[in-house]
Amino acid sequence: MAADWRIEAASIAVPGPGQFLVRITMISLDPAMRGWLDDRPSYLPPVAIGEVMRAGAVGEVITSYHPKFKIGDLVQGNFGVQEYAVSDGTAVTRIDPKLGTPSMYLGVLGMTGMTAYFGFFDHGRPRAGDTVVVSAAAGAVGSIVGQLAKINGCRAIGLAGGPTKCGLVVNDLGFDASIDYKEANLRESFQQHCPAGIDVYFDNVGGAILNTALGQLAMHARIVICGAISQYNAESVTPGPSNYLALLVRRATMQGFLVFDHASEYAIARKRLAHWVKEGKIIAPETIVPGKITDFHEVFLRLFAGDNTGKLILELNP
């Protein structure tokens, strides 16, 4: 709810020795942000009441007392939902325009791309000829995963909501087929498009779709648990999937992962992804919404209404 947020005005902080000041130009909107608001055990502590909302962002260094960052540098980091941020350089990446644009450093060359890359390769363990099914295939992560599957000689089947997104998944992103989860009988659709079963299921949504996919696994399938956006606003505990015994029968594995565990390899992944983008093998869809900090809540809700394609970004007007 809009009432859950408070917009505050404050003096721009002055950086100290070893710090720099960033004027933020773009803020990343991600489904994980919803989970960061819940006061329960997770991979990161919840955002406390009164704290600046956690968010990835890009911006320009406008004052610097840091030896590695100079005025005019474009940078990406976890700067939060604010117009200015002071940093000591921890977990901050200098944007290389030879690799991509600032917005791409929030998307395909940022946490979105890293999540798709390591989730698919390290945990999906694809083999040429595999049938790969991706939920939220028109979203920021799913759209990249399906294209990585095609680059690696797999068949890619995408789940998306509505004919427009399903058309984009096939016609623009190059998936072999799409399934409209809002209209289709999922079990019948999986049987149609995956007659030999699902080898890799990359899950971004959880819930009933995950449960149905478990019933259609190939032998030694790999299920990659990236997220569960269908459950983030649930007011009660979500029951576990009833089809979990398929993991036993099919000798399958289901594993969750966090992209932060692969931080030491980000630079390598970023260069490979940038190369594929330049070759035209990866298209990185973006939904960039111009606005102000006061528009954050409205833009954030677009994630849960399915009202965006690819990476959702709030671009702050100067």
**Pairwise CA distance, residues 233 & 38, whole Å:** 10
How does pLDDT run across 280-308, given as a tens digit for each residue?
A: 999 999 999 999 999 999 999 998 887 88
- Per cent of the chain over pLDDT 70 is 98
> Per-residue pLDDT for 239 more than 80?
no
165, two tokens: 């997104």
**What's the fold here for domain 2-107+284-316?**
Quinone Oxidoreductase; Chain A, domain 1 (3.90.180)
Under a CB-based contact definition with an 8 Å cutoff, are residues 194 and 175 in contact?
A: no
pTM of the entire predicted model? 0.93
**Pairwise CA distance, residues 91 & 78, whole Å:** 8
Domain boundaries, the chain: 2-107+284-316, 124-260
Tell me whether the CATH fold assigned to 2-107+284-316 matches the one assigned to 124-260: no
Question: What are residue 28's DSSP bridge partners?
Answer: 313
H or E stretch covering 199: strand 198-203
How does pLDDT run across 161-213, given as a tens digit for each residue?
A: 999 999 999 999 999 999 999 999 999 999 999 999 999 999 999 999 999 99
Range 124-260 classified under CATH 3.40.50.720: yes
Collapsed DSSP state (helix, strand, coil) of residue 301: helix
